[in-house]
């Protein structure tokens, strides 16, 4: 790879590592797996960097690669037998109001746990549509399916997410009613 391309790739990785890691975490619910997914996506992107013609579309391409890496990961048989632990250690942010911080943490954890209960394709549709703010057409391109499939997967995913929110926590009604969903 030419030095100019190498520099552009390094700049892209520095700029997009955090947003892609956040998206990966929302997909899989595990920071360590999210790091692995982002790393795999960057390796694949590095291999194709000289073929990426439009540099302005590289973020969308990276998001597509990341989503496909995650879908490949959940299809692997050894992942299906893995037992997940409910307790995820949090590092407190001492710079904010404790009551407000506790409420945000509770909401964030509740949504993360509820997302973990949504089937993988539906979860991918929800994350891409609502957390990554992609259109139906862009989501369909990333997931390699029709726009109608994206709409139905999103609708089913929202229903599953609402049901999981109600099942997981008392007081989740306000999240279901409108703030998060």
Q: Which of 75, 77, 76, 161 is nearest to 118 (CA)?
A: 161
Q: What is the pLDDT of residue 119?
A: 93
The rounded distance, in Å, linking the Cα atoms of 67 and 138 is: 12
Q: What is the pLDDT of residue 50?
A: 81
CA distance readout (Å), 69 to 28, 80, 100, 144:
11, 16, 35, 13
Cα-based angle 138, 142, 146 (whole degrees, multiple of 5) = 70
Residues 20-42: pLDDT tens digits?
Answer: 999 999 988 889 999 999 999 99
CATH number of 3-80: 1.10.1740
Residues 78-133: pLDDT tens digits?
Answer: 655 555 666 666 665 555 566 666 667 778 888 888 999 999 999 999 999 998 98
Residue 178 has pLDDT above 50, yes or no: no
Average pLDDT over residues 157-175: 77
For residues 68-90, b (16+ Cβ closer than 10 Å) or e, as one string?
A: bbbbebbeeeeeeeeeeeeeeee
Is the pLDDT higher at 14 or at 56? 14
Both tokens assigned to 112: 């993360």
How many Cα neighbours within 13 Å face the side chain of 40?
A: 17
Q: Is the pTM of this model over 0.85?
A: no
Domain ranges within the chain, ordered by starting residue: 3-80, 98-179
Candidate CATH numbers 1.10.10.10, 3.40.50.300, 1.20.58.1030, 2.60.120.330; the one for domain 98-179: 1.10.10.10
Residues 136-147: pLDDT tens digits?
Answer: 999 999 999 999
Percent of all residues in the chain with a pLDDT value above 70, rounded to a whole number: 75
């Amino acid at each position: 790879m030419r030095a100019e391309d190498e520099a552009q790739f390094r700049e892209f990785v520095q700029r997009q590592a955090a947003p892609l890691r956040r998206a990966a975490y929302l997909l899989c619910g595990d920071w360590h797996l999210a790091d692995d997914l982002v790393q795999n996506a960057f390796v694949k992107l590095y291999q194709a960097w000289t073929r990426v013609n439009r540099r302005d579309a590289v973020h969308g391409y990276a998001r597509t690669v990341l989503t496909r890496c995650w879908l490949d990961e959940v299809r692997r048989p050894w992942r299906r037998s893995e037992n997940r632990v409910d307790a995820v250690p949090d590092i407190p942010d001492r710079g904010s109001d404790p009551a407000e911080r506790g409420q945000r943490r509770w909401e964030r954890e509740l949504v993360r746990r509820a997302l973990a209960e949504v089937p993988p394709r539906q979860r991918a549709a929800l994350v891409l549509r609502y957390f990554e703010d992609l259109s139906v057409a862009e989501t369909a391109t990333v997931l390699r399916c029709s726009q109608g499939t994206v709409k139905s997967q999103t609708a089913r995913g929202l229903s599953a997410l609402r049901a999981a929110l109600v099942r997981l926590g008392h007081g989740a009604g306000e999240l279901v009613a409108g703030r998060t969903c």
